[in-house]
Amino acid sequence: MRYIKCLVTTGAITILLFACKSSPPYDNKSLHHPLLYSQTVKQLTDVIVHDIFSPPVACRIYAYATIAGYEVMAHSGQQYQSLAGQLHGLPPTPAPSEPAMIDFPLAAMIAMATTGKAMIFSENRLQAAIDSLKAKAVAAGMPGDMLKSTVAYGQQVSAAILGWSKGDQYAQTRAGGKYTVTEEEGRWTPTPPAYMAAIEPHWNELRPFVLDTASEFIAARPPVFNMKDTSSGFYRMVNEIYTIGNTLTEEQINSADFWDCNPYKVNLSGHVSFATKKITPGGHWINICGIAAQNAKADFAKTVCTYAKVAIALSDAFIVCWDEKFRSNLIRPETVINKYMDENWKPHLQTPPFPEYTSGHSVASAAAATVLTQLYGEPFHFRDSSEVEFGLPEREFPSFIAASDDAATSRLYGGIHFRPAVAEGTRQGNLVGQKVITKLKMEQ
């Protein structure tokens, strides 16, 4: 009996020692590093690029995904408060029943990635990111019951945000009719090389996040079409783009290429066509969010806040811009120059498939830069490496506004926008950014 008791005791000690060895103390430093959140957002961006979402749709995905991550952090007891009641139609989001059992940074990443996963096509790619986060938690020694509770809470918040998203009229716009091209002079028509139909003609029907209506910051009217009178404002506007396109400097080309952000560039080689995929304008600014947070050494919560606040501004910026595009329905430089001035002229950049006025890059960039300036101040020197993976060098900026201005004027150099679309688009974007800043109370 004494021998048997000794064996049992020894076995128990062995099991205890093995358990201690296989389950090291929970070290959450790696999981709570803000760079991990940025890397997870980047994985969402990679899927958006792979699945070829248009600029407006991409920003809608970013907005809902990052709001899900933010709402988790808002319930963590830190300095941020929920956006429930501040964003149109957003009800109170679930609070954890046992906060002590939740690792909030991990739950925020799970919520963000799970929401993004539900809104893209290549779900397996984001599922791999989620599985990687879980594996990192196990490797860090997170107790099994905490991991289970944390994942469940992230999924719970994600489900609430996805439920809210269904009321924004996006599904209804999928059933909307295609845009009808008219023969009226000065109106938009499809452009080469693909002559694609206009994308998202019903985008102004979406529920905004903070704006009262899609037309809250309606643009001034563009110049009246007139290519007969060389002294008319319209002719001079067209001639400026024609002249710029024929005398591009190396710096202007670099700017145009850097901010191209065409998610689906059609390339023709003989009888073969193929697409080149890149980040959208919104995706570029989402990447700048990560650069800004890292440069400023922002903590995890502020990093999460940065992405959500900028994504909201970007999404509403595209609603404002698309509302105007299909109101003014203005012809693109390439079309008017080829018809009235030079049939062989080509813009440096490929013309996107939607009307010209106002410039989406200008609206989105100004909105994002306005919010980022409020979050991190000015000046804010940074090197933008967003396009390095697409074979382009970094560009250096003294501030977010300087980067926004560069993005806006790059559309002139690219030959795809007239100056009024850039100037008025920038004004609209500033107003959207200020509205987001004024309306959203995120810090307690």
pLDDT for the residue 25: 73
pLDDT for the residue 26: 84
Q: CB within 8 A of 320, min separation 6: which ones?
A: 211, 214, 215, 216, 217, 363, 428, 432
pLDDT for the residue 270: 67
pLDDT of 268 above 90: no
Task: List Cα–Cα distances, 288 to 21, 101, 112, 311, 407, in angstroms.
Answer: 42, 33, 18, 11, 13
Q: Are 258 and 348 in contact (CB under 8 A)?
A: no
Q: Are 314 and 436 in contact (CB under 8 A)?
A: no
pLDDT in tens, 378-387: 999 999 999 9
pLDDT for the residue 20: 38
Block residue for tokens 């991991």: 147
> Distance between terminal CA atoms of the chain?
66
**pLDDT average, residue stretch 214-226:** 97
pLDDT in tens, 234-246: 999 999 999 999 9
The span from the CA of 327 to the CA of 305, in Å, is: 34
pLDDT of 218 above 70: yes
pLDDT of 267 above 90: no
Q: CB within 8 A of 302, min separation 6: which ones?
A: 34, 293, 375
Tokens read off for 196:
């694609």
pLDDT of 10 above 90: no
pLDDT in tens, 281-301: 999 999 999 999 999 999 999
Closest CA to 164 of 97, 96, 92: 92
**pLDDT average, residue stretch 134-143:** 96
**pLDDT average, residue stretch 409-413:** 98
**All domains of the chain, ordered by start, with CATH?**
27-166 (1.20.144), 189-439 (1.10.606.20)
The distance from CA 132 to its chain's CA centroid, rounded to whole angstroms, is 23
pLDDT for the residue 2: 37
Alpha helices in 250-332 (DSSP H): 250-258, 281-295, 300-328
**pLDDT average, residue stretch 15-19:** 35
Q: Are 415 and 341 in contact (CB under 8 A)?
A: no
pLDDT for the residue 30: 87
Query: For the stretch 65-84, what's the b/e string if a residue is b when 16 or more beta carbons lie within 10 angstroms of its beta carbon?
Result: bbbbbbbbbbbbebebebbe
> How many helices and strands, by DSSP H and E, does the chain display?
15, 4
pLDDT for the residue 113: 98
The phi and psi torsions of 59 (rounded to 5 degrees) equal -70, -30
The span from the CA of 253 to the CA of 244, in Å, is: 11
Confidence of residue 1 (pLDDT cuts 50, 70, 90): very low
pLDDT in tens, 123-136: 999 999 999 999 99
pLDDT in tens, 73-130: 999 987 899 999 999 999 999 999 999 999 999 999 999 999 999 999 999 999 999 9
Tokens read off for 142:
């997170």
* 268 vs 7 pLDDT, higher one: 268
pLDDT of 39 above 50: yes
**Average per-residue pLDDT in the chain?**
93
Confidence of residue 24 (pLDDT cuts 50, 70, 90): low
pLDDT for the residue 281: 97
The span from the CA of 154 to the CA of 138, in Å, is: 17
Strand 265-269, strand 272-276: pairing: antiparallel
Instruction: Kindly state the percentage of the chain with pLDDT values over 70.
Output: 94
**pLDDT average, residue stretch 165-194:** 95
